[in-house]
Chain A
C-alpha cells in the first residue's frame, strides 16, 4: 500500500517558467492538502482540496499559484512565472476523511529551486 507519492522530488526552473508539482494521495484518500516549507521557516498551509473541489485556499498566494484535484489522476500544484522566492519544499498530505482521529499522511516533498 503505497503512501503519498510526489513527483518530481527535485525540480529546477528558471525565473519566468512554470512549475507543475504532482501528488498522488494514499489509495482511497479523497482529501489532499498542500504545504510549503520555505528555507529556515516552518511548514505553512496552502490549500485543501477534495475531489474536484477546493475547500480552503486561504494559504495560497493570490497570484501565479493554482491547485486542482481532478476526478481522475493526481493533484497538481501549479506555479506560473516562478520567481526566486518560490524556491522551497512543497509537501502534499492526504487523509481518508474528516474525523478527529484522522491522521494526515505526508509525501516526501518536491524541492523547487528557481535559478
Chain B
C-alpha cells in the first residue's frame, strides 16, 4: 500500500527566502507525481506534474525533482512571496490495476510573511 509523507508539516519563512518542501513515498513503482497547492476553503491547483521517467520539472519560480529509486520528491520555491502562502500537497499517481488513483500526503502548510 502506497504511503506518502510530507515534511515539514508547517513552515513559516520571511518573504524572499528560497525554500524546499519534501515528499517521500514508500512504493517506487509510481506512474507520475503531482504537486498541488490548496488555499483555505478552496480546491486544488495543479502546480507541476513529473512523469515517472523524468527527473524534474520547472514552472516559473517552482522546480520539482523526482528520485524514484529513493522514493523522494522535492518542491523548490525560489524567492518566496506572501501570495505563496497555502498548503502544498504531494500526490503520487499509480499505474497498473490502480491506474487513476492519486495517493496524497498530509501537506505542508506554508506561511510567507512580509
* Interface set of A (CB-CB < 8 Å, partner B): 4, 6, 31, 33, 35, 41-45, 48, 55-56, 58-59, 91, 93, 95, 98, 100-109, 111
Contacts and interface: CB of A to CB of B under 8 A. Distances in A.
A100 B101 contact: no
B113 to A, nearest CB: 24
B49 interface: yes
A104 B107 CA distance: 17
Contacts of A41: 106
Nearest to B97: A56
B49 to A, nearest CB: 5
Given A56-B98, A98-B99, A105 B46 contact: yes
B100 A33 contact: yes
B49 A101 contact: yes
A106 B100 contact: no
B44 A91 contact: yes
Given A31-B100, A42-B104, A101 B42 contact: no
Contacts of B53: 100
B42 A108 contact: yes
Given A42-B105, A43-B89, A109-B43, A55 B49 contact: no
Contacts, number: 72
A104 B102 contact: yes
B100 A56 contact: yes
A45 B107 contact: no
Which has the most chain B C-beta neighbours within 10 Å: A33, A100, A101, A106? A100
Given A43-B89, A100-B52, A103-B34, A33 B102 contact: yes
Contact of B102 (A45, A58, A98, A109): A45
B29 to A, nearest CB: 13
Contacts of A101: 32, 49, 51
Nearest to A50: B100
B31 A100 contact: yes
B76 interface: no
A111 B41 CA distance: 9
A13 to B, nearest CB: 19
B100 A103 contact: no
